[in-house]
Amino acid sequence: MSLARRAQRLSFVQRFNLARFFKGDAPSAAPWVLNRRNVYILPTRQGLFFAVTLMIILLGAINYNNSLGYFLTFLLGSIAIVGILHTYRNLLRLEVRLASIEPVFAGGEVTVPVVLHNPGTQRREQIALAFAGQEPKSCAIPPSSQHVMSLHRPAGERGWQPVGRFTLASTFPLGLFRAWSHVVPDSYYLVYPRPAAESRLPQTSRYMASLIGDQGIGSDDFAGLRGYRTGDSLKHVHWKALAREQGLLTKQFGGDRSERLWFDWRMLEGRETEARLSQLCRWVIEAEQQGLEYGLWLPDQIIEPGRGHAHQQQCLQALALFGV
């Protein structure tokens, strides 16, 4: 077989690859534009029933030579054919991308924000999105605008996890045909270890940065905010944050002696790897909630003591990617 014929045959196989029909293309980078190569359309169950009904009407019109039967058959058939075009165009040239995906703990549920942009002048109706095996969510997108749709799926194991394939579909306007397109993002989200149930901080890891004053919990210097707990003084409630709908927070005040913690991998000798990571994860969360400074010692990484959201994220990411 000549090289030209082989290339032509390969092009034919790629064009009619059934895997793309059911699963979409290989993972690719955003943005994803729906075009004639990746939008498919087939009759729905109602569409097949409609076609059978038209055939019965046509056979009856032929058998009885009924002009009204012919008229009804061709009128309804013409409407269905026009419906194919409108269903197909409802997805065509839509632009799809993902917004930032927040990390999540193992055993939880990740939220995937999908941004749909409609660059055209026509309104897109009944655009349904869903991961495989899930109930689709529908939305409408006005002309020259975008809409954010949040999809949810189980987080999976710790580490970087692929977003996975999701499908856009539409049966607008008649419900007789379904147009769809698969999107396979080349994107990942981070999964932290599942926090252990034991939340008591280890006493053997404590040391003091200074030997004067109280243990970092005083009444003079503002040290930050934490979530409200039952029994907190109403004088320390951050009422301005509550008015801004940021939740019920309590002000923390510190002295001049700060208590620091070291969370050491070697403190959990005898446990399995995942159990160690889970316990370290719980300690990081508890120390941050209490406003303490803490450091993390792992066999492959040492994070110096600190506190705050950025420090917590650094520690949790180190635990999530340990040994991966």
pLDDT digits (tens, 9 = 90+) for 128-181: 999 988 999 999 999 999 999 999 999 999 999 999 999 999 999 999 999 999
**Angle at 77 (CA atoms; ends 75, 82), nearest 5 degrees:** 95
Q: Is the pLDDT of residue 307 over 90?
A: no
Query: Average pLDDT of 223-228?
Result: 67
Contacts (Cβ under 8 Å, ≥6 apart) of 84: 41, 177
Q: Where do the domains of the chain lie?
A: 15-191, 203-320
Q: How confident is the model at residue 295 (pLDDT cuts 50, 70, 90)?
A: very high
What pLDDT score was predicted for residue 257?
47
**Residue whose C-alpha is closest to residue 129's, from 91, 88, 176, 84:** 91
Contacts (Cβ under 8 Å, ≥6 apart) of 240: none
Q: Is the pLDDT of residue 192 over 60?
A: yes
15-191 folds as Immunoglobulin-like (2.60.40)
Q: Is the pLDDT of residue 212 over 60?
A: no
Query: Average pLDDT of 69-94?
Result: 95
What pLDDT score was predicted for residue 19?
65
Cα gap 204→277, rounded to integer Å: 18
What pLDDT score was predicted for residue 17?
61
Global pTM reads 0.74
- What is the distance of C-alpha 175 from the center of its chain? 28
